[in-house]
């Protein structure tokens, strides 16, 4: 069954080039009306120009699609709300948001300025927060919404010289997990894409023969799926060079320590058991971990945890 976006309105940030452009074009081919957002800056976030967004809009129009360009800086709450308001004024709705805008300010942590650390957090994390916060009430009222966060293998596993980027990308997973819970009763599904592609952000890092495989177009199916009616919920979907995988955050069963064992020395002695992945669990909210630990402590103390007495 073909995934269609007929009648849907989608905002894609950072859509002037690279991944965002590929997402926007594929969504347009499937009938979506697009807000093509791009601040138009350099990789470090400056200066700004609306030309990139306008170029993508021209491509969309050339294939018969409908789109408007927007040059809002996603870190500017007022500009973001204006962007969202313009989309609602034009089309009366917003069905999906793909938070794709990002910058790089790489350096080894001991050489990185805190200003550069904050700026990357501002664009990736707070930019996604600003855009999501602006569309959230619209989606709640419609009882429908699709939010896509952009995480990264760097956020999940780390990479030298990208502490700021990694911190932002992992923070977006925490944001996703909570918004999944808050959006569940109002038809809003929230997922994250972990893309790997040869774009201007990575061109200095990837050999040309490998870059030819890592096209933005090979990632676009993941973004389109996560923004669609049939999207899953609470999924970290990785996509690179036509390969797709899912990341889970799981927790070991662990152990309960009491008495003299409940010490740093006891923990060290039992660390292998604590780390044993056998029976590891997938939690849907933070309270499940607390219940696990407190339930064991209650059992050891002879307390009826289930009744709260």
**Backbone phi, psi, residue 116, to 5°:** -70, -35
Which H or E run includes 68? strand 66-70
Tokens of 285: 């909210």
User: What span, in angstroms and rounded, lies between the C-alpha atoms of 101 and 38?
Assistant: 7
* 179, 203 Cβ separation under 8 angstroms: no
Phi-psi region of 268 (alpha: psi -120 to 50; beta: other; left: phi over 0): alpha
> Per the residue annotation, which of 23, 144, 165, 225 is the catalytic one?
165
Spatial neighbors of 296 by CB under 8 A, at least 6 apart, are 256
Concerning whether 165 is annotated as a catalytic residue, the answer is yes
Which H or E run includes 108? none
User: What span, in angstroms and rounded, lies between the C-alpha atoms of 179 and 181?
Assistant: 5
* 63, 25 Cβ separation under 8 angstroms: yes
Q: Which of 127, 84, 82, 78 is nearest to 103 (CA)?
A: 127
- Catalytic positions are 165
């Amino acid at each position: 069954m073909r995934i269609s976006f007929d009648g849907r309105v989608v905002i894609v940030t950072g859509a002037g080039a690279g991944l965002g452009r590929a997402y926007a074009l594929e969504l347009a081919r499937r009938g979506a009306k697009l807000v093509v957002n791009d601040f138009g800056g350099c990789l470090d976030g400056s200066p700004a120009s609306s030309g990139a967004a306008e170029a993508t809009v021209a491509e969309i129009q050339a294939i018969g699609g409908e789109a408007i360009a927007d040059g809002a800086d996603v870190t500017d709450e007022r500009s973001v709300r204006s962007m969202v308001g313009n989309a609602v004024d034009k089309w009366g709705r917003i069905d999906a948001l793909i938070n794709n805008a990002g910058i790089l300010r790489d350096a080894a942590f001991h050489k990185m300025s805190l200003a550069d650390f904050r700026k990357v957090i501002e664009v990736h994390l707070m930019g996604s927060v600003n855009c999501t916060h602006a569309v959230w009430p619209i989606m709640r009222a419609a009882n429908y919404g699709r939010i896509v966060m952009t995480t990264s293998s760097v956020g999940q596993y780390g990479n030298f010289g990208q502490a700021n980027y990694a911190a932002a990308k992992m923070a977006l997973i925490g944001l996703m997990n909570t918004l999944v819970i808050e959006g569940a009763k109002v038809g809003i599904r929230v997922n994250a894409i972990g893309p790997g592609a040869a774009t201007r952000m990575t061109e200095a890092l990837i050999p040309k023969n490998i870059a030819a495989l890592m096209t933005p177009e090979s990632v676009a199916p993941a973004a389109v799926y996560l923004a669609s009616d049939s999207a899953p919920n609470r999924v970290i979907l990785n996509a690179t060079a036509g390969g797709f995988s899912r990341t889970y955050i799981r927790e070991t069963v662990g152990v309960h320590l009491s008495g003299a064992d409940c010490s740093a020395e006891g923990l060290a002695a039992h660390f292998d058991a604590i780390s044993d992945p056998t029976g590891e669990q997938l939690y849907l909210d933070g309270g499940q971990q607390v219940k696990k630990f407190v339930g064991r402590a209650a059992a050891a103390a002879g307390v009826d945890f289930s009744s709260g007495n």
